[in-house]
Amino acid sequence: MNSEANVAQQSLAGEMRAATKTIPWTETFYWCVRRELWEHRAIYIGPLAAAGVYLLGFLLTLHRLPHQMRAALADPSKMKALATPYEFAGVAIMLVAMIVEVFYCVDAFQGERKDRSILFWKSLPVSDTTTVLSKAAIPFVILPAVAYITLMVTGFVMLVLSSMALAANGLSAAPLWTQLSLVPNAFGLLYHIVTVHILWYAPLYCWMLLISAWARRAAFVWAFLPPFCVGMLEKLVFGTTHFATWIGFRVGGGMEAEQGSGMMPSTHLTPLRFLSDPGLWLGWIAAVIFLALAVRIRRNREPN
C-alpha cells in the first residue's frame, strides 16, 4: 500500500514539475510569430495576390513573346528587353510587400489595444520583449522571406509559360533561359532583399513599431506627420533641407548604398563596402533604441 502511495506521489510530483517547467524562449517566440501570421493574413496573401494578378497580366501579353524573340535573335541587343517583364514582376511584388510591412508595423500594437486583445495576451506568461521581437520578425524575416519565395516561384512559372509559348511557335526557349540565368538572379535578388529591405530599412520599421506602441489613436498619422513637420520647420526657419535629405537618403538610399543591384544580379555587388557604411550602423543603433522604447511602452500601456 505504501508502495502504491509513493508511486502516486512521485507521479503527482512529476506532473507538477512538468506543469511548472519553464517553456523555452525559442518555443514561446515561435508561437508568438505564429500568432501574428494567424491574425494578419495579409502578410502572405498580399504578395501572393500581387503575383497572381501579375501572372494574369503576363498571360494576356504572352502572344507577343514569339515576335519579340525573333527580333532578339535578329538583333542581340534586344535580348535584354526579354527580361523586362521579370524585373517588373520583382518591382510589383516587392512594392506590395513593402506596403504590407508599413501597414502591419503601424497597426502592430495599436490593433491589439483597440480590440482589447492585449488583456488576453498580457495574461499569458509571455514577456513584452518576446512580443515586440515577434512582431519585429514580421518585417525583418517573414515578409522578406515570403516575398523572396513568391518572386522566385513567379519567375519560374513565367519562364515555363514563356517556354511553352515559344515551343508552340517553333522557337527555342534556350536563349531566354540563358539571358535570365536563374541562379545568379536568385542570388542577386536575395542580396537586394537582405541589404535594402532588411538591413537598410530596419530603423524605419522600428520607428513605426514604436509609434504603434505609443500612439493611442491615428498611429499612421503620428508615424509620418512628425518627420514631415520637422522638415517643413527646418525649411521655414533655416532655409535648409538637411533633415528631408537625410530622410530621402534613408528611404531611397538603400539602392544607392548597394550600388543599384536592383532586382536582377549585378557584377558590382560590394557587401563589404555596404557593411562599412556608417549610415547602416547608425540606423541599426536607432532601430535598437526604438525597439527598446517599444518594449517599455507596451509594458505600461493599457487598452484604448
Tens digit of each residue's pLDDT (9 = 90 or more) over 234-269? 989 988 888 888 888 888 766 555 554 445 545 456
Quote the pTM value.
0.84
Look up residue 22 and give its DSSP letter. P
- Please name which of 226, 229, 223, 225 lies closest in space to residue 203, comparing C-alpha atoms: 223
3-state secondary structure of 212: helix
CB-based contacts of 46: which residues, under 8 Å, 6+ apart?
A: 96, 97, 99, 100
Q: How far apart are CA 221 and CA 129, in angstroms?
A: 25
Average pLDDT over residues 73-91: 86
Half-sphere exposure of 114 (CA within 13 A, CB side): 14
How high is the pLDDT of residue 3?
59
Count of other CB atoms within 10 angstroms of residue 29: 17
Judge contact between 210 and 203, C-beta under 8 A: no
Residue 14's pLDDT band (cuts 50, 70, 90): low
The residues near 181 (Cβ < 8 Å, ≥ 6 apart) are 265
pLDDT value of residue 12: 40
Predicted confidence (pLDDT) at residue 9 exceeds the cutoff of 50 = no
Question: CB under 8 Å to 155, separation ≥6 — which residues?
Answer: 86, 89, 90, 180, 182, 185
- Cell readout for 60 is 494576356
CA 61 distance to own-chain centroid: 29
Q: Report residue 227 as a C-alpha cell.
A: 518627420
Which whole number is the average pLDDT over 89-118?
90
Of the listed ranges 13-22, 78-87, 178-187, 249-258, the one predicted with least confidence: 13-22
What average pLDDT does the structure give for the chain? 85
Burial of 14 per CB tally in 10 Å (0-12, 13-18, 19+): exposed
Q: Is the pLDDT of residue 83 over 90?
A: no
pLDDT digits (tens, 9 = 90+) for 139-182: 999 999 999 999 999 999 999 999 999 999 988 888 888 888 77
* Cβ atoms of residues 196 and 252 within 8 Å: no
